Amino acid sequence: MDYIYDDLPKQYSKAVKSSSKVLNSGRNSLFPARIRFLYPFIRHYTNLLFNFAAVNFIMHTILITGGAGFIGSNLVRLFVARYPHYTLVNLDKLTYAGNLENLKDIENAPNYHFVKGDITDMELLRNLFARYQFTGILHCAAESHVDRSITDPLAFVTTNVLGTATLLQVAKENWQGKFEDKIFYHISTDEVYGSLGETGLFTEKTGYDPRSPYSASKASSDHLVRAFYHTYQLPVKLSNCSNNYGPYHFPEKLIPLCIHNIFHNKPLPVYGEGLNVRDWLYVEDHVRAIDLIFHKGRIGETYNIGGHNEWTNIALVKELCRQMDEKLGRAAGTSAQLICFVKDRAGHDLRYAIDATKLKTELGWEPSLQFEEGLSRTIDWYLNNKEWLAHVTSGDYQQYYNQQYHKR
Ligand code: NAD
Ligand code: TYD
């Protein structure tokens, strides 16, 4: 985590510089010739001391929205552990996708607070700002599942568009042009760029061409965030990430749904011919990128985040079957017999793939895991957390599952 030392508020980095100056100017008088060889060590350790003090005096108070969801809970966990001197407030409506069990291990951490509420509730946001005086916002809350957006598009417009606009407005009201050391970080998706053909990659300059109610609502929210930057200079940062996978992923999405179904010997529903391509990234790599961009990314900029890891759905499901056969002690090929091709998703985007060169060259980020290893860790996590899976798949999940897949 040494990179956070580069992100010191001005007054402290000035202090670090002036400490070096004092030592430099007084070199001859402060240090007699016989101990002058110690000078580089003294300077090094003085700087370290100032840096340590500076980092510990950055008292960010961050509002994390949607912190009980999949990416949000992984992000909260990282920030709670890495920044004990920050105050982290998780605001989540606890929709079907939000689950406080995702945060059980850190729920009593002294730097963490949970508030149940809706990002469209302006009064609540105003009260929270008045109480906590946020200096940063990590905005994860969203309706996030494409299939649900096809059946209920207005829920997506309400949370993703109106919710983001409400949050922007309250941040603007509260920060009142005093934007130094403030950050509004909007977490978005590569789906805003539309669908690729067989070749090409999405860059930060690719034009927006959203094609599902989900991606259109996320694209609208991205536009609003940029509009608040250009119009009011609100200090925003954005990132657009490819498909995530990993622990705490709700089993309506392809990977956890298949893990759950393989375990229970249920059919594996592959849409169409299974030839759609997604670029998969392990969630911990995503939240590591968010951390880096939050602390070191440039204001007003967008960063693409991706896994350099394209898989057709059918190849991915077969790899899951292969690994699970091994882990469950089943004969090779057993789970693949569960695969069944079902009616395609309406308007199904063919291919997503991210060019993350900007993030690599500016901030040095790269994915850390090979996909096979990431999948293996993910499967292990689900097998070791059967109770979690049983809880989230009870109740409403069954009804959703029957509606989505019964007649497909
Ligand atoms: P998720 O559906 O798992 O979690 C969303 C969270 O937001 C839930 O905890 C839910 O309760 C909360 N929420 C929903 N509506 C709310 C509201 N009105 N007020 C307050 N909280 C509300 O989603 P996720 O997969 O963790 O995605 C998080 C963010 O990352 C989203 O903005 C999504 O667009 C983006 N994203 C996701 C992926 C992915 O592969 N999952 C990839 C790129 C970007
Ligand atoms: P999903 O996990 O829903 O993410 P997104 O739609 O945001 O990319 O779906 C990933 C891919 O898997 C997508 O091409 C749709 C496909 N898919 C299936 O084939 N079967 C399923 O049951 C689901 C949920 C998705």
DSSP string, 114-161: EEE--TT-HHHHHHHHHHH--SEEEE------HHHHHH-HHHHIIIII
pLDDT exceeds cutoff 50 at 7: no
Reported as a pLDDT band with limits 50, 70 and 90, residue 15 is very low
pLDDT digits (tens, 9 = 90+) for 267-276: 999 999 999 9
Indicate if ligand 1 lies below 6 Å from the C-beta of 70: yes
Amino acid at 399: Q
d(CA 246, CA 249): 6
**Res 27: pLDDT:** 44
pLDDT at 181: 92
- Which residue out of 214, 245, 352, 382 is catalytically annotated? 214
With a cut of 50, say whether residue 2 has pLDDT above it.
Answer: no
Q: How many CB atoms lie within 10 A of CB 329?
A: 7
Q: What is the pLDDT of residue 403?
A: 86
29-57 pLDDT tens trace? 455 666 667 766 666 666 566 555 555 55
Closest CA to 386 of 319, 328, 339: 328
Reference 77, options 329, 291, 242, 282; nearest CA is: 291
Is residue 65 within 6 Å of ligand 1 at its C-beta? yes
Task: Looking at the CA of 250, name the nearest ligand.
Answer: 1
How far, in Å, CA of 156 to CA of 160, rounded?
6
List Cα–Cα distances, 404 to 36, 74, 216, 398, in angstroms. 75, 27, 21, 10
Confidence of residue 408 (pLDDT cuts 50, 70, 90): confident
Which numeric CATH code is attached to 59-311+345-405? 3.40.50.720
Is 100 in a helix, a strand, or coil? helix
Q: What percent of the chain has pLDDT over 90?
A: 82
pLDDT at 52: 56
Confidence tier at 143 by pLDDT (50, 70, 90):
very high
Q: Tens digits of per-residue pLDDT, 83-142?
A: 999 999 999 999 999 999 999 999 999 999 999 999 999 999 999 999 999 999 999 999
- Active-site annotation holds for 245: no
Residue 26 clears pLDDT 80, i.e. is over it:
no
Mean pLDDT of the 234-241 span: 98
Is 191 a residue of the active site?
yes
Min mean pLDDT across 31-40, 61-70, 280-289 is at 31-40
Candidates 201, 147, 167, 209; CA nearest to 348 is 147
Q: What is the dihedral sign for C-alpha 313, 260, 66, 362? A: negative
Q: How many CA atoms lie within 13 A of 265 on its CB side?
A: 3
3-state SS assignment for residue 183: strand
How is residue 67 written in tokens? 């912190």
What average pLDDT does the structure give for the chain?
90
Q: Where are the domains of the chain?
A: 2-56, 59-311+345-405
pLDDT value at residue 225: 99
Average pLDDT over residues 203-223: 98
Query: For position 44, what pLDDT does the model report?
Result: 64
CB half-sphere exposure, 183, CA atoms < 13 A: 26
pLDDT at residue 124 in the model: 98
Q: Which of 118, 143, 191, 204 is catalytic?
A: 191
The closest ligand to the CA of 289 turns out to be: 1
CA atoms of 285 and 279, how far apart (whole Å): 13
* Mean pLDDT, residues 17-30 taken together: 42
Closest to 139 (Cα-Cα) out of 167, 117, 102: 167
pLDDT higher than 90, residue 407: no
Q: Is the pTM of this model over 0.85?
A: yes
| CA of residue 99 to ligand 1 center, whole Å | 11
Q: Max alpha carbon distance in the chain (Å)?
A: 87
Tokens of 342: 């079902």
Position 162 confidence tier, pLDDT thresholds 50, 70, 90: very high
What whole-number distance in Å separates Cα of residue 62 and Cα of residue 87? Answer: 6
